[in-house]
Amino acid sequence: MTAQAILPPTSSGSPRVRAAPARGLGDRLVGTLTRHPVIIASLLFVILITALAIGVNLLPLPDPTEQSVLFRLKPPSAEHLLGTDRLGRDILSRVLWGARLSLIVGVGVVALSATLGTLLGVAAGYFRGWPSEVVLRLTDILLAFPPLILAMVTVTVLGNNLLTVVLAISIGAVPRFARVARATILAIREREYVEAARALGSSTRRVIVQHVLLNAVDPLIVLCTLLVPTAILTEALLSFLGLGITEPNPTWGNMINSGQLVLREAPWLTFFPGLAIVLTVLAFNLLGDAVRDALDPAVRDLGAPSPSLDASLPSQVRRAATPAEPAPVRVGAT
């Protein structure tokens, strides 16, 4: 929906309506992300944690695997801002290196599952027939298993390292992308501009890439932003259970697992990695909701401004240009 302005009437007496220019995708995203202070704070936190994770090796921090019996279980101090663990390793360094692994897992899971799921969704939605049935039955089988259980079984079979953790979490996310892509492409493939491209002799590949897939990216982008925190949280759960990335590589999950043994004596071992998980997942979820609000037409239309009328216009023109409210529907009236 676009805001409209009523101009002075024409010579025939009918009012002229001027529609405001439609906002582009970038304008809508920027407007949504900068509208609320909470969203701005979430965006700044995501940028900060990403910058720290990328440049952690450039920071003057101790090696996250360096052990020292002399600094065992030291509380937060000027020398160790977040304290040390049972082996004398610096908690701040391990939290930041754990952030790098968590973001790698989140981005890797989104990239892998979005690629595979979108390809399956395109095949099912555009070609229909038996490809659609095969994809739907495959997704039904995968959706029958809880994602965490499926990831645990996959890691147990393939081993627990970074690549297998990304693969294990991606298997449970592929059906979501496949179903979203299929539902979106089913609606797009019948539109006029797609039919026109076929009539002009465009190849199937060209129609899919340039006319179908490019117009189906909005819900896929929303799903990507919402899947990153899910992947980070799943990786932390796997590491906490001892099935994810293991020592000496620091992750937020195995740090909490290690700190629970001395929870009463050294609560900072679990508090700081737990706080990092909560803040990161919350920030990504808030950003995902904001991106959804910017890209979802139904949500965007609810917040669209109403047509603005010039107060200098005659009252008859303003009443004619203002849509009447629908009459209330009564249920069960006789």
Q: Which residue has the higher pLDDT, 116 or 199?
A: 116
Domain residues for 215?
25-311
CATH of the domain at 145: 1.10.3720.10
Q: Is residue 7 part of a domain?
A: no
* Residue 16, pLDDT above cutoff 60: no
pLDDT at 161: 87
Count up the domains in the chain and report the number: 1
Task: Identify the pLDDT of residue 153.
Answer: 92
Task: Give how far Cα 77 sits from Cα of 66, 74, 81, 90, 92, Å.
Answer: 18, 8, 5, 11, 11
Residue 175 lies in a domain: yes
Asked if the structure places residue 55 within a domain, the reply is: yes
Residue 332 placed within a domain: no
Q: CB of 182 within 8 A of CB of 132?
A: yes
Q: Does residue 123 lie within any of the structural domains?
A: yes
* Residue 182 in domain: yes
Please state the pTM of the whole predicted model.
Answer: 0.77
- The pLDDT-based confidence of 329 (bands split at 50, 70, 90) is very low
For 6, phi then psi, to 5°, come to: -90, 125
In a domain, 328, yes or no: no
Instruction: Note whether residue 325 is domain-resident.
Output: no
Query: What is the CB neighbour count within 10 angstroms for residue 193?
Result: 12
Mean pLDDT confidence for 161-169: 92
Compute the average pLDDT of residues 220-239. Answer: 91
Residue 276 confidence class, pLDDT cut points 50, 70, 90: very high
